[in-house]
Amino acid sequence: MKIETDYKSDGSVYAIDVKSIGVRTLLKVLKRYERISSLVRLKYFFNSDEPIISFVFNNVDIIIWIPFGDSGIYRIQSRNDEVDLVELKNYLQEYKLNFLEKLFML
């Protein structure tokens, strides 16, 4: 799992790009984080820039979508860029995939 971040001019994180991971594994990783609630997979087939996953983080609605359709990148951001996602970025960077997650990346 590779993490890249986009920053606002004030230094806060407004978007996180997650690469080298499957959507099912990403869902499992997010389910394990206690600050996330209402995690829902919205779409099973991705053919547009519409959100595929939504959840609540620090009382703010967050979406995950795939830029450019099928690029292998999952972009995590709030609907209105209203929250600093540095805590979520740190969690994802520190998370260690177990053997089966690495093997199957589903």
Tell me which residue of 61, 97, 94 sits closest to 76, measured CA to CA.
61
CA distance 12 to 83: 8
Residue pLDDT, tens place only, 64-104 = 998 877 678 899 999 887 789 999 999 999 988 776 666 56
Residue pLDDT, tens place only, 26-47 = 999 999 999 999 999 987 776 6
pLDDT(105) > 60: no
Q: What are phi and psi of 45, to 5 degrees?
A: -120, 130
Tell me which residue of 52, 35, 37 sits closest to 92, measured CA to CA.
35
